[in-house]
Structure 1
Amino acid sequence: IGPDQHERGFGGIMKRLIDKPLIAAVNGYALGGGTEFVLACDLAVMSADATLGLPEVRHGIIAAGGGLLRLSRRIPLSIALEAAMTGAPIPPEEALRWGLVNRVVPAEQVLGTALDLANRIARNAPLAVQASKRVLYQAATLPDWADEAWKLSDDAARVIMRTADAKEGPRAFAEKRKPNWAGR
């Protein structure tokens, strides 16, 4: 375990926002900590045979790895309450319907679909992707008309517009070529 592992929580991703996009690929049972990993990721691909859920209450404990903190931000509160208080499994169709996962695919396609999403993201300017992720998470609880929300967006845009990538993107578009992102 690295020196900052405890600060970042289980798996190194539970307690700190990671700049890079995180994509969960779920095959089989991802109960308790597995679901908490999914909730800590930005995107998720789930097998049609997999199962999510927070069964901790059935064992006299709570989902203390972030599940209770994140679930109601992903799905309606009443659905999150039912899942957390009953400990019932969440089948793939429900996970997709409620937005817990982005895709449900056959088991043999889970990893490929997750990698396809990763590649689609990786084609974009890395600093712009990271800034977009940060603004989305930071503004998630703010009304879109709030000054604080607009400050987040404006500050991020100001920083991004000064990057080499912000110049490369429009240049590549005008020259009808793929951009060469520098990450600076």
Structure 2
Amino acid sequence: MDPIKTRREGAILEVTLDRPKANAIDLATSRIMGEVFAGFRDDPDLRVAILTGGGEKFFCPGWDLKAAADGDAVDGDYGVGGFGGLQELRNMNKPIIAAVNGIACGGGLELALSADMILAAEHATFALPEIRSGTVADAASVKLPKRIPYHIAMELLLTGRWFDATEANRWGLVNEIITSDQLMARAWELARLLASGPPLVYAAIKDIVRDAEDSNFQDAMNRITKRQLRSVDTLYASGDQLEGARAFSEKRDPVWKGK
């Protein structure tokens, strides 16, 4: 069975990780996910993606340990974009929404952290249990202390304890908690809102945020004002930039063309 299912509606792509029983990711699945997300990135007609898991119990528990026992190397070929196709995918300048429909632990939580917004079903639970297996949650160790309070991030990394959607929301790890039966409806509602927005501005925002993560404020601002970021340079020279100003002055909704 195909472990990745996609649904396309207008400018929105829904990607469902569907590998019963737990939606764990092996090397082959990771490579497929990389191809799917690279295709989304490179398709000019797509603007927003939703990532979720099949079923109601698991979003993703991360690495498929059964596949590892059968010979999948932990340092094997994950494909373009690294583990899950997102964590290291370059130039991903389109919004991605993670709709966490259940357990998200280990690499599954790291995969959710690769999204720009996270919606969680009310029964969703989270953990980084790698510490208990004598290994490191590498991507989470890089990202989590930048997303939530440092001491909370370190506690979660060092203890591997489980936490629920309410706590995740309290620390700002998820944007919203949604009832299970409304999770995907809310994800699509948000995706449609984003799809109606200016794609060149989204690209510039994501490019700036990535660049600024490892820069001090003035260096980041210098690269923006000198138009050294390709997406910002494209935006400032675009018709969409002019359209935004015209629509405002004419008191109408802008028509974004992405160019």
For the criterion TM > 0.5, the same-fold answer is yes
The residue number in structure 1 matching 2:198 is 125
**CA displacement 1:50-69 (0-9 Å, x = unmatched):** 011111112222213x1211
2:105 to 20, 25, 31: 31
1:151 to 222, 240, 243: 222
**CA displacement 1:78-127 (0-9 Å, x = unmatched):** 11111011111121111111111111111112212222222222221101
Identity of aligned residues (%): 37
Q: Give the ranges of 4+ consecutive aligned residues of structure 1 lying more than 6 Å apart after TM superposition.
A: none
Distance 1:179 1:19 in 2: 21
2:106 alignment partner AA: G
More helix by share: 1
Report 1:91-110 matches (<5 A).
91-110=164-183
| Partner SS for 2:204 | helix
TM-align CA RMSD: 2.0
The residue number in structure 1 matching 2:137 is 63
Is structure 2 residue 179 aligned with structure 1 residue 115? no
Distance 1:10 1:58 in 2: 21
1:75 alignment partner AA: I
1:14 to 66, 71, 87: 87
Query: What's the CA shift for 1:176?
Result: 2.9
Contact 2:132/2:160 (8 A) holds in 1: yes
1:151 alignment partner AA: N
Is structure 2 residue 256 aligned with structure 1 residue 163? no
Shift in alpha-carbon separation, 1:25–1:85, aligned structure 2, 3 A: same
2:124 alignment partner AA: A
Query: What's the CA shift for 1:172?
Result: 2.1
Task: Choose 29-38 or 11-20, whichever is displaced more.
Answer: 11-20
Higher relative contact order (CA 8 A, sep 6+): 1
Contact 2:200/2:234 (8 A) holds in 1: no
Query: What's the CA shift for 1:141?
Result: 4.2
Q: For structure 2, list consecutive stretches of 5 or more residues without a partner in the other structure.
A: 1-30, 36-77
Query: What's the CA shift for 1:158?
Result: 4.9
More strand by share: 2
The residue number in structure 2 matching 1:50 is 124
Q: For structure 1, list consecutive stretches of 5 or more residues without a partner in the other structure.
A: none
Q: TM-score, normalised by structure 2?
A: 0.64
Query: What's the CA shift for 1:178?
Result: 2.3
